[in-house]
Structure 1
């Protein structure tokens, strides 16, 4: 049997009709709406408290609502604090990442700068260690297309008492030695040269391009490089002839003197550079610095302007 009672709060709220009939009924059990986190209220109901006064219910509801508001406020503050910490952490992480990238960039820039400095130093060392003439066009360079005309050049020097096989293959050894002269070596070593008998001989070279010859370079080891301290086999006076064909005698372009006390590579300006365009050049050695048996030529280069 359901039991009905009037509640002051419900009566003030208009939950009863004028004739006294109730519009809301409930059994005398603990209302679920009042089940909150306050343990003392649950304890009272567990010990048999089945009747509450209306003022107590109102006060309890107010306390519950206030508690709910406080808990909601606390949760909002806690969530806001968490969001603030999360945002701050993200900002700090981004800042640290930017610092890391900046450090990597600075280190790479420093490494690149050091590499550039090392390359520059290497270039300077190469420039100082190699002859200046290496930076000038050489039209008597084998790797560029120049060739020695062996049949128009002097034979290689063969010491007395050479074997029969040396005489048989003399043409091959002679060609090999003549090619050394136009291979453009920047470093000259004793013995790596073309030698011909006596103090007078000649070498004819087919140039890589038809050119107007303005300069020539002659190379020989220095006194300090020679094992005996002297270079009597070095060329002394030599002449240059320009040739348009292989059959002609050639156009005389000048005579120069190689200095035995000078550097290994010596460049000479021709007295008569404007004598035409030549496809071949003849190096004529007139004498040497005292060796009557043979003369050695280590390097020969031709400089000028290409014909258009």
Structure 2
């Protein structure tokens, strides 16, 4: 009989059961300042907890010296809200890893389209708009706008922006464009990593009249002549072509740069090579040293 190696047990990242923990046993990593409490995000979390309670439990880790004491890894704003509401305990998820940075570096803010889908889902389940507005700390008009977010946005553009933080006004600007121009504008936003209202307005200003929907207001921008708008349209078209060219070669160029940097770094560790360069090609040495000192390119 052939012996098979023993299977290695996989350590669980969290304890199996949620644990109700008194707040006097939880030590936060930082205190929530009055400035943070005045932020829109804090008010939205507070409104949601007041209306529907805690949706996502806080994450804590046991103190290695005292298992009855805990460190708060994730959920500092929720913790502050609950304390402000005079709560004394909460059900928490107990992590077996006390590395708080692991949680913070993996936070993903809710994208605009994801929030839109969440609202549609809640409405389909019968949640009243007024209750949603209270939970998100916004007025009902905003809920209606978010519900209609993708009306007039083509599927391809929506797919490009599905995980991006784009303001409601940004989508309203895109709706003034025809589908092909919406896709081009979304591609430029993603390529330039710019999702601001002003950038969306500049793309609209650089859009030819033929690519605007018939209901769109004619472009009248104070201080910009028709000739300047025509120039912006041409420059926008050139930029789109250049962005696509860069996208086509970016992967290969990035790999070449990483390999070249690694090769030069290896060369510069050799005393014989550095002496030879210093004697015969002294101009190369500072440039090579600068390359080896540069942080590795982000992957």
TM-score range, shorter chain: under 0.3
What is the TM-score when the length of structure 1 is the normalising length? 0.15
Q: Which TM-score applies when normalising by structure 2?
A: 0.16
Higher RCO, 1 or 2 (CA under 8 Å, sep at least 6)? 1
Larger CA Rg, structure 1 vs 2: 1
More helix by share: 2
